[in-house]
Amino acid sequence: MSKFNDIIKSDIPTLVDFYATWCGPCKMMHPVLDDLKKHFGEKIRVLKIDVDKNQQLAEQLKIRGVPTLILFKSGEKLWRESGAYPLNKLISMIQAHIH
């Protein structure tokens, strides 16, 4: 958990994807998140967290459905949504929060 806190406290915006291996929409998001990382390069970090393996963290952050995406910067939550999103919507959302 302290490692997670260290990561989200970074000045580099971090998009955390809370997912489950059995979740269909989560599987659809995998290539979208890969493309998102390619688009932004070093400007953002993408962190995937399996809710089944990290139940305490998921409970602490009140993750009720997967996928849930949360954008953090310097320890602050900038944006949070549940569900699958197309690449262009994620790009615009992140640009709105990091520029």
Inter-CA distances, 23 with 36, 61, 83, Å:
20, 19, 11
DSSP letter at 41 equals G
DSSP 67: S
Catalytic residue among 15, 16, 20, 26: 26
Determine whether 23 is an active site residue.
yes
13: CB partners within 8 A, 6+ apart = 43, 44, 45, 71, 72, 73, 78, 94, 97, 98
Has 26 been annotated as catalytic? yes
The secondary structure element, H or E, covering residue 56 is helix 55-60
Known catalytic residues are 23, 26
